[in-house]
Amino acid sequence: MDKLIIVGGAVLNGDIRISGAKNSALPILAATLLTGEKMRISNLPHLHDITTMIELLGCMGVESSIDEKMTVEIDNSNISSYCAPYDLVKTMRASVLVLGPLLARFGAAEVSFPGGCAIGSRPVDQHLRGLEMMGAEVDISGGYIKAKTNGRLKGAHIIMDIVTVGGTENLLMAAALADGETIIENAAREPEVTDLANCLVAMGSEITGIGSDRLVIQGKEELHGCEYRIMPDRIETGTYLVAAAATRGRIKLRDTDAKLLESVLQKLEECGATIEISENTIELDMKGKKPLAVTIKTAPYPAFPTDMQAQFTALNSVAEGTSMVTETVFENRLIQTHELNRMGAKITLEGNTAMVTGVERLKGAPVMASDLRASASLVIAGLVAEGETVIDRIYHIDRGYECIEEKLQQLGGSIRRVPS
């Protein structure tokens, strides 16, 4: 198991390219199951989760080839299995997204309960309830979700009890091949859901309300293949912007989209950053100033994203002043504060809120990542800490950040990967 070793103190400066969005690529790869025609998906990030999803599709008989630019060509015409096995699903929660497409196209699916980051309970009951409303028979036994239909799924009026990105995506894909009209109320509005919906439209779906909390899908008997380019990763974008702000640096990010993270950019401006935006670039300049503490509260899109909370907690730990960080989406997602305190941060927890008092500097220490975004917060902390920080269990960060040490090295960070 690899580790990252970071020597803090460098001011990040330079420009890097942002990768395609993992949280968009995974459901879109699952959506290719909806057609027997060939699909071509470009701008995939080079990540373990992407490899796992392609391997999962391969277990079902999907044929695929990837070129050096991370463009995948997929042929689903000879699918021979409708099962997503435990050995693959246990490592990646997004594997459950094959449930809706398999059920809609083939009338059967068997998917192991999903794994992923340990950031609290993320049940799939909303997925299953919606599929049952569309006529699916669902049985849970032996750690597997086993679903089947008698003919096509039927259009339904589904009101989601809670806003769930994965649930919205699964039901959106299932509805694309259902018989009749499906309405999804209280749907997730995240850009990744919009990206999936746009891909489905490119495949022949008829969807209205894209980007809103009410999606209306007119089911089709079949969809066709298409070419589709994955949107840029807004969380990777935000992470590097926060890293630059924490180190009082200046960076330019290419191949990204500022419209995807307006709430994050607003908080960065509050912390003292000067931000300039063009069509596909974002530039941030702290002009050597120490960041100001900013109070944040996570909520579903378009509010502040839970996937950026940990990074801002790290920034606040070395900012001027005191801040409150409130996590409302996942109950265990402030767990990284204990590791930041090991590095000299002054953070106290009260329920789902962290009180953060900025310190002059953190101290390098051995720390352990607990999940994907907590890993990113520890990297940011290591960059601003005095001395050497060793981050263990970095397989988490490899699930969501493409070549993170190479990109930070391009920006002047002292970071390297070593085997344990």
Among 117, 199, 226, 271, the active-site one is: 117
Please identify which residue in the block is written with the tokens 């998917």: 111
What count of Cα atoms within 13 Å lies in the side-chain half-sphere of residue 64? Answer: 29
d(CA 111, CA 109): 6
Contact 290, 261 (CB under 8 A): no
| Integer angstrom CA distances of residue 233 from 18, 191, 240, 252, 413 | 7, 10, 11, 15, 21
Torsion 363-365-370-373 (CA) sign: positive
Structure tokens at 34: 């909806």
Q: Which residues contact 380 (CB under 8 A, 6 or more apart)?
A: 239, 242, 243, 246, 311, 314, 315
Q: Which residues does residue 148 pair with via DSSP β-bridges, in sequence order?
A: 108, 137
Contact 115, 93 (CB under 8 A): yes
| Nearest CA-CA partner of 396 in 144, 145, 22 | 22
The CA-based angle 371-21-325, given to 5 degrees, is 45
Active site residue 83: no
d(CA 316, CA 309): 10
Q: What is the DSSP string of 331-350?
A: TTTTTTHHHHHHTT-EEEEE
Q: Which residues does residue 83 pair with via DSSP β-bridges, in sequence order?
A: 110
Structure tokens at 402: 């493409």
Q: What is the DSSP string of 47-102?
A: -HHHHHHHHHHHHTT-EEEE-TTS-EEEE-TT----EE-HHHHTT-GGGGGGHHHH
Cis bond upstream, residue 191 (ω within 30): no
d(CA 123, CA 113): 9
Structure tokens at 108: 């059967």
- Catalytic positions, please? 117
